[in-house]
Amino acid sequence: MDDSGETRQALRELLEAQAITIVGEAADGANGIDLAGKLMPDVVLMDLKMRGMDGIEATTIITSSLSDTHVIVLTTFDDDSLRQRADEAGAAAYLVKVDSPQLIIDAIFQALRS
């Protein structure tokens, strides 16, 4: 989930190049929760700052209602308090968008193994 269409497209290209199947995309937390409930993905990449429902609230709802779905926070904010809130919400990992693409791939495969 990310409110930027450009970011979603870049992530789609990165993940498809690694043979990771994308089952859905959402531009905000509420839509993402709906899609996650319908599609039951193994992993959700979650931005934190989106219009409407933010990523922390969406992460809390997804991790509490979909026990087999792992949420990886992918945000522009390298902030310890947000990192702690994401952890408390049940996020499997917290990544910053300037991290290397390989870290994103590694975090996804780590989540799938757990």
- CATH fold of the domain at 5-113: Rossmann fold (3.40.50)
Tell me the three state secondary structure of residue 103: helix
Asked whether the beta carbons of 45 and 22 are under 8 A apart, the reply is no
pTM score > 0.85 for this model? Answer: yes
CA distance 37 to 94: 22
Is 20 in contact with 63 (CB distance < 8 Å)?
A: no
31-65 pLDDT, tens digit per residue, is: 999 999 999 999 999 999 888 889 999 999 999 99
The token pair at 87 is 């952890």
